C-alpha cells in the first residue's frame, strides 16, 4: 500500500502557493520525508532560490530512493553530466543551458537520452512544487537512437554450443537461455518451483540484480511483468532428472552456494564462450567468438520468434509476451531483420533433448 500526502510549503516570490506531493510505503516514512524536506527548505532563504545541485539531490532521494540500486546509480551517472548547472537556482536556469548539457553527450545517444530524461523529471518536480511556472526541459533535442545491433548466432555456432565442453551448471544455463530467451538476470533467479513440469509451463516472476559492489538481490523482472512460457516436451525428462539430482533453492549458484555476483557472472560468461570458441577450433590466440555475450542467445530466440510471426505461426503479441516485451518494442527491435531461415513450423523447431 502506498501513502500519499500533499504539503503546503508557503509562497514563492510571485505569490503563488508552493505545494508538494510526498509518497512512501509506510506512514512513518511519509512523515519522515516531509520533516526532512521542510528542514532542508528552511535552510534556504526561499524555495525559489534553491540551486539545481541541492534540488537534484532532493529529486534523487524522493523519486529514486525506492528504486533499484542500478536505477539509482544510473540516475547519479546522468546527474554528474549536469554538474555545470549545480550552482544555479532552479528558476534562473534557461532551456538553452539544458540543451547545452544534453549536447555535450550527443556522440553517445543513450547517455544523451538519459541526461535529457533526468532533466525533464527534475524540472517537472520543480514545476509541480511551484518553484518554476512550467517544465522547460520538455522535448529537449536529443540524438536519434539507432536500433540495437545484435550478433545473430549462426547455425555453426549453435552446433558448437552442443558439443562444447561445458560443466553441468553452465550447460543448463545456456540451455535455459536458448530455449526460453530469458534475460540472463531472469535465468539466474530461477528456482525449481518456477518450473511446472506437469503443466509444461515456466513461470518467469523475478530477476537477479547484481550491483557494481558485488552484491546481489532478487527483484522483479525488468518490466515488472510476470510471464508464462511453454516448456518443450523434450526438455521435461532432463529437467526432472536435474531437479532430482540437485534440488538447490536456486538453479544457479556460486561454488559457495550463494547467489551469483557481477564478478562471478562475468567469469561464467568468459568461461562458456571460451569453451564454445574451442569447439569452433579456436584457442587463446584465435578468438572466433570475440564480442559474444549471453544476451546473444536471447536475441537468437527473439529472432526465431519474429520469423515465426512472419510465417503466421504465432502472433507478434504472443511472441512479444514470450520475450517479456511490449508488442511495440518487440517489433521496433526485431522488424529490421531480413528473413533468411526457412521451414520453421513450431515454436521450438527441431528441438533436441539435451543431457543436463
3-128 CATH, one of 1.10.3470, 1.10.3720, 3.30.70, 1.10.150: 1.10.150
> CA 222 to CA 228: how far, in whole Å?
15
Is the Cβ–Cβ distance between 17 and 130 less than 8 Å?
yes
Domains 3-128 and 155-334 share a fold: no
Q: Helix axis angle, 27-42 relative to 52-64, nearest 10°?
A: 180
Q: Residue 177: its pLDDT value, please?
A: 95
> CA 306 to CA 308: how far, in whole Å?
5
Q: Where are the domains of the chain?
A: 3-128, 155-334
Structure-block grid coordinates of residue 49:
532560490
Helix and strand totals (H; E) in the chain? 13, 7
Is the Cβ–Cβ distance between 276 and 153 less than 8 Å?
no
pLDDT at 256 over 70: yes
Percentage of residues in the chain with pLDDT exceeding 90?
Answer: 46
Give the model's confidence band at 13: pLDDT under 50 very low, under 70 low, under 90 confident, else very high.
very low
Give the model's confidence band at 339: pLDDT under 50 very low, under 70 low, under 90 confident, else very high.
very low
**Strand 227-230 versus strand 201-204 pairing type:** antiparallel
**Strand 17-24 versus strand 3-11 pairing type:** antiparallel
In this structure, what are the phi and psi dihedrals at residue 23, rounded to the nearest 5 degrees?
A: -135, 135
Query: Once rounded to an integer, what is the mean pLDDT over residues 246-261?
Result: 83
155-334 CATH, one of 3.10.180.10, 3.30.1150.10, 1.10.443.10, 1.10.8.60: 1.10.443.10
The tens digit of pLDDT for each residue in 291-332 reads: 899 999 998 998 888 888 888 888 989 988 899 888 888 887
pLDDT at 40 over 70: no
Q: Residue 166: its pLDDT value, please?
A: 94
Report long-range pairs for 303-306 (Cβ below 8 Å, ≥24 apart): 303/150, 303/152, 303/334, 303/337, 304/341, 304/344, 304/349, 305/181, 305/347, 306/330, 306/334, 306/335, 306/337
| 189 vs 20: which has the higher pLDDT | 189
Q: Residue 247: its pLDDT value, please?
A: 60
Q: What is the mean pLDDT of the chain?
A: 84
Say whether 219 sits in a helix, a strand or coil. Answer: strand
Amino acid at each position: 500500500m502506498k501513502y500519499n500526502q500533499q504539503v503546503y510549503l508557503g509562497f514563492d516570490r510571485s505569490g503563488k502557493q508552493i505545494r508538494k506531493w510526498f509518497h512512501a510505503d509506510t506512514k512513518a516514512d511519509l512523515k519522515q520525508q516531509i520533516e526532512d524536506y521542510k528542514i532542508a527548505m528552511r535552510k534556504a532563504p526561499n524555495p525559489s532560490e534553491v540551486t539545481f545541485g541541492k534540488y537534484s539531490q532532493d529529486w534523487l532521494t524522493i523519486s529514486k530512493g525506492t528504486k533499484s540500486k542500478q536505477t539509482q546509480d544510473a540516475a547519479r551517472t546522468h546527474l554528474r553530466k549536469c554538474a555545470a548547472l549545480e550552482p544555479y537556482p532552479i528558476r534562473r536556469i534557461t532551456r538553452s543551458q539544458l540543451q547545452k548539457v544534453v549536447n555535450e553527450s550527443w556522440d553517445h545517444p543513450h547517455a544523451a537520452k538519459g541526461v535529457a530524461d533526468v532533466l525533464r523529471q527534475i524540472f517537472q518536480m520543480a514545476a509541480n512544487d511551484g518553484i518554476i511556472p512550467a517544465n522547460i526541459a520538455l522535448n529537449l533535442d536529443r540524438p536519434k537512437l539507432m536500433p540495437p545491433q545484435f550478433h545473430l548466432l549462426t547455425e555453426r555456432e549453435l552446433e558448437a554450443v552442443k558439443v562444447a565442453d561445458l560443466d553441468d551448471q553452465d550447460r543448463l544455463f545456456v540451455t535455459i537461455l536458448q530455449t526460453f530467451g530469458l534475460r540472463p538476470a531472469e535465468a539466474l533467479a530461477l528456482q525449481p518451483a518456477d518450473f511446472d513440469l506437469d503443466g509444461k509451463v515456466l513461470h518467469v516472476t523475478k530477476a537477479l540484480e547484481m550491483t557494481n559492489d558485488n552484491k546481489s538481490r532478487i527483484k522483479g523482472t525488468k518490466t515488472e511483468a510476470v510471464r508464462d512460457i511453454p516448456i518443450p516436451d523434450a526438455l521435461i525428462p532432463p529437467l526432472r532428472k536435474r531437479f532430482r539430482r540437485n534440488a538447490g533453492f536456486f538453479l544457479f549458484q556460486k561454488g559457495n552456494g550463494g547467489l551469483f555476483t557481477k564478478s562471478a557472472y562475468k567469469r561464467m560468461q568468459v568461461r562458456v564462450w571460451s569453451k564454445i570458441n574451442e569447439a569452433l577450433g579456436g584457442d587463446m590466440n584465435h578468438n572466433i567468438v570475440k564480442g559474444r555475450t549471453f544476451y546473444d542467445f536471447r536475441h537468437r530466440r527473439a529472432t526465431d520468434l519474429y520469423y515465426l510471426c512472419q510465417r503466421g505461426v504465432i502472433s507478434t503479441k504472443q511472441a512479444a509476451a514470450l520475450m517479456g516485451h511490449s508488442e511495440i518494442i518487440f517489433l521496433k527491435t526485431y522488424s529490421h531483420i531480413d528473413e533468411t531461415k526457412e521451414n520453421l513450423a513450431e515454436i521450438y523447431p527441431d528441438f533436441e533433448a539435451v543431457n543436463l
